[in-house]
Amino acid sequence: MSAPSVFLPGSTIGLMGSGQLGRMFALESRKMGYRVHTFSPDRDTPTGQVADKEVCASYEDESAVRAFASELDVLTFEFENVPVQSVDWAAEHCAVRPAGSVLHTCQHRLREKEFLQKAGLPIAAFVPVSNEAELRNAAQTTGLPAVLKTAAFGYDGKGQKLLRPGADLASAWLDFEGQSAVLEAWVPFEKEISVLVARGATGQTRTYPVCENVHTHHILDVTLAPAPLEESVAEAAATLAIRAAEALELVGVLAVEMFLLPGGQILINELAPRPHNSGHFSFDASVTSQFEQQLRAVCGLPLGSTESLRPAAMANLLGDLWTHGEPDWVAAAALPEVKIHLYGKASPRPGRKMGHLVAFGATVQAAADLVREARRRLQREGT
């Protein structure tokens, strides 16, 4: 069996998607001497602002996808909801990492859960649902409370509904009519945690420290890195992440979101086969950021160290901060152990991720307190 292809600095890397994840990937790639082309339906995107070339076309435009791929050495992704057909077109012209099969699995909740179940990885009980009658039967199986989720295109809490005991199931199903869905048993978790794992073209793996994620209105608010956990729990979480990456035969970076239950049991919630919001701390706080690691993995280079330089915390900056005008960047910058990252998005709106802050501390709790204080200082009078 021949060795996997290696793409050295000077090669051209293609990115499907053009948001903030692609922006940070492009910045790290250009630091290492690579050229970056980005493809998405939008113009003047966060990634396009820093890429060598921005292609604006539909993912379903076969000729545009083929023309884009023909200029690349290797193609990767900043989000998983790219049509698999588009990936297949691109694969006829360049290397594609991770493979289209990985995206196919991870872009659909039911396929993902069935994959994890078949791989013997721990997940919450679930039942596929495609109509109201099936929802009623599923509720008998899982019991209530339970969470009804669309099978595709859900993120940041979109496409989800918590069904409590006594819920009107007919009414609940109205928002899901015509879609495939999954009813998932409610998990009485203690913490939401995540592990970023990188897997190279030769099968080498590295994990980042386990993170604790605090959500507000289903959107990630603050990440603590490393999570304050017992060592045995952190080791178990890292092992599960590696098992998931190996089962997928991933080449790239995988974020594994998990529930930590009382008593130390861990269940896998979701997979994202690309860099992840919860890994943004690594841009400043790790020897190798998740974005450089993605580059190393897809180019066939040895993986970098995932060692943390200092305890850190990350806080998302949503468009709500702009309600009363431009945030007070000077006030936040006055805190010397805080880093400001903005994504180049022109129009803030409530709930839209516009940037993030990373803060350092002697302990992870000190870092979390500092990053929250920095974000508080951004708010103008009246917010």
Task: Determine how many CB atoms are found less than 10 A away from the CB of residue 365.
Answer: 13
Q: Torsions phi, psi of 147, nearest 5?
A: -115, 125
- Kindly report, residue by residue over 247-283, the tens digit of the pLDDT: 999 999 999 999 999 999 999 999 999 999 999 999 9
pLDDT exceeds cutoff 70 at 153: no
Contact 81, 155 (CB under 8 A): no
Give the pLDDT of residue 154: 57
pLDDT exceeds cutoff 70 at 303: yes
Give the pLDDT of residue 179: 86
pLDDT exceeds cutoff 50 at 168: yes
Give the pLDDT of residue 383: 44
Mean confidence (pLDDT) of the chain: 95
Q: In which region does residue 143 sit, left (phi positive, over 0), alpha (psi from -120 to 50) or beta (all else)?
A: left
3-state helix, strand and coil shares in percent for the chain, rounded to the nearest 5: 30, 25, 40
The b/e string for 165-202 (b: 16+ C-beta within 10 A; e otherwise) is: eebebeebbeebeeeebbbbbbbebebbbbbbbbbbbe
Residues 6+ apart with CB under 8 A from 174: none
Three-state secondary structure call for residue 121 = coil
Q: How does residue 155 score in pLDDT terms, banded at 50, 70 and 90?
A: low
Residues 6+ apart with CB under 8 A from 239: none
Domains within the chain, CATH numbers bracketed: 12-96 (3.40.50.20), 125-185 (3.30.1490.20), 191-378 (3.30.470.20)
- Kindly report, residue by residue over 228-249, the tens digit of the pLDDT: 999 999 999 999 999 999 999 9
Q: How does residue 342 score in pLDDT terms, banded at 50, 70 and 90?
A: very high
pTM of the predicted protein model: 0.95
Average pLDDT, integer, range 177-194: 93
